[in-house]
Amino acid sequence: MATNVTTTIDSRLKRVLRHMPAPVGIVTSFDPATNAPVGLAMSAIMPVCLDPCAMAICVNRSGSSHDAMIRAGRFCINLLHDAHDAHMAPFAGAAAREERFAQDDWRQHGPVWFIEGAPANIFCDIRERVPYGTHDLLVGEVYDLFDNGSEDILGWANGALGRINPLR
């Protein structure tokens, strides 16, 4: 009985979350053993507080970037605008993994990779790691921020990239 209830809740929550707008970005880090860049597309991004400045992300422990990101102890949240929509596809699945850092606007800030010209690049040191279910909630203290002043930041809702527009 509990399994059916859980399955029902899981599918209903997944449907509701699909329609709930969220910021979308490419979260990057590096493998400290090789200095190779790693990253993933994600909408599980949120501010935590301003004192100290901190952001949180949720990373699946079975994901290809998880272990390197944990060992590096750092990540960068690259918020995107519509000119960066092509960056998403290689990060959305394993099939195009070799193309993830192929665009010519990738740069390094120290060892961490970021998209030059993105609306914002938020660089964080991991301060807390909270395991829950299949994911780790990572709280990162912001140590640097690049902000180009753009207010055109992509979000994710209804299974697609888009923008949230004011009602008036």
Q: Please report the domains of the chain, with CATH numbers, ordered by start residue.
A: 21-157 (2.30.110.10)
- Dist CA 146 CA 20 (whole Å): 27
Residue 107 pLDDT greater than 70, yes or no? yes
3-state helix, strand, coil in the chain (%, to 5): 25, 45, 35
- Dist CA 62 CA 167 (whole Å): 39
Lowest mean pLDDT among 39-53, 82-96, 132-146: 82-96
pTM: 0.87
Q: What is each CA distance from 41 to 12, 36, 141, 155, in whole angstroms?
A: 23, 17, 20, 12
Task: Place 97 in a pLDDT band, splitting at 50, 70 and 90.
Answer: confident
